[in-house]
Amino acid sequence: MLQGKTIWITGALGQLGRSAVPLFLRQGAVVVGSDIAPLEQVPAMQAVAEQYGEERFRFIRADASSEEEVKAVVGEIDRAFGRLDGAFFNAYRNVWKPLLELSLEEWEATLTGTLTSAFLCCKYAVPLMIRTGGGSIVNTSSVLGHIPKKGCLGYGAGKAGVNQLTRVIARDYAEFGIRANALVPGDFKAPEKLAALPASTVEMIRRETFMGRSGSADEVSQVAAFLLSDASSYVTGSLYTVDGGYHA
């Protein structure tokens, strides 16, 4: 589905990135993964890098909220591959505190890590996409950008901003062949994390979703692959919810 496409994934070492990178590679893409953490921190991703080699998977350590580092990543993509067809932006930061306990520094760090990072990555990815014939941007949002969750002030505001950022980019750059959509996941957890949760939390997840369970990273990244592919060529400016019915 992604054969021949060059795709940039931020947050490549996070739960969603660890699912998306091998999925996109299996579908034929060339993948550039970036993350603030070193590749050596995640042995499974090191193995992916060794399996595919730098011609198919290139990892660049970079902070998605740093303008200079984002520019450097895009420059490396241009030098190495000469094009960018898709981008899956997953970087975020979250501090779970209510208004009266959240410091200005924590508020600003959360918005910078969640919303400003998406702005910067889109700002520098779009010109390369336009130059090489257009492309598809998928920004990862959250149901918490719609639904107020106790203590989720900065992250919720940041993800709501990601939604509007994405829709305006879709409107402004459609004529240049750019599609932009926001992927809106609900709860999704690795099996080992789910198993470690208190029974009361698992029961709450069961009650709050139509499907009665937490999702998996693979169920989310499969939708991202669709939005990055030509199969979604008439989809832009959308908020694509993947939450087992939680938002409904």
Whether 74 has a pLDDT exceeding 80, the answer reads yes
pLDDT at residue 201, as a whole number = 75
Active-site pick, 92, 124, 155, 240: 155
DSSP secondary structure, 116-169, as one string = IHHHHHHHHHHHHHHHTT-EEEEEE--GGGTS--TTBHHHHHHHHHHHHHHHHH
Residue 220 belongs to domain with CATH number: 3.40.50.720
- CA distances to 67, 194, 212, 247 from 208, rounded to whole Å, are 39, 15, 7, 9
Residue 248 lies in a domain: no
pLDDT at residue 71, as a whole number = 98
Residue 133 lies in a domain: yes
Q: Tens digit of pLDDT for each residue in 136-146?
A: 999 999 998 88
pTM, to two decimals:
0.94
Residue 1 lies in a domain: no
- The tokens describing 184, both together, are 């809106």
pLDDT at residue 167, as a whole number = 98
Q: Tens digit of pLDDT for each residue in 149-191?
A: 888 899 999 999 999 999 999 999 999 999 999 999 988 877 7
pLDDT at residue 196, as a whole number = 76
Residue 11 lies in a domain: yes
Residue 72 lies in a domain: yes
Residue 43 lies in a domain: yes
Residue 23 lies in a domain: yes
Q: Tens digit of pLDDT for each residue in 17-68?
A: 999 999 999 999 999 999 999 999 999 999 999 999 999 999 999 999 999 9
224-241 burial, b at 16+ Cβ within 10 Å, e below that, comes to: bbbbbbeebeeebebbbb
The question of whether 234 is a catalytic residue gets the answer no
Residue-range definition of the domain harbouring residue 130: 6-242
pLDDT at residue 67, as a whole number = 98
Please, which residues bridge with residue 137 across strands? 87, 180
Higher-confidence position of 148 and 128: 128
Please, which residues bridge with residue 242 across strands? 185
Mean per-residue pLDDT for 90-96?
A: 91
Average pLDDT, the chain: 94
CB-based contact 64:91 (threshold 8 Å): yes
Residue 152 lies in a domain: yes
| Count of domains forming the chain | 1
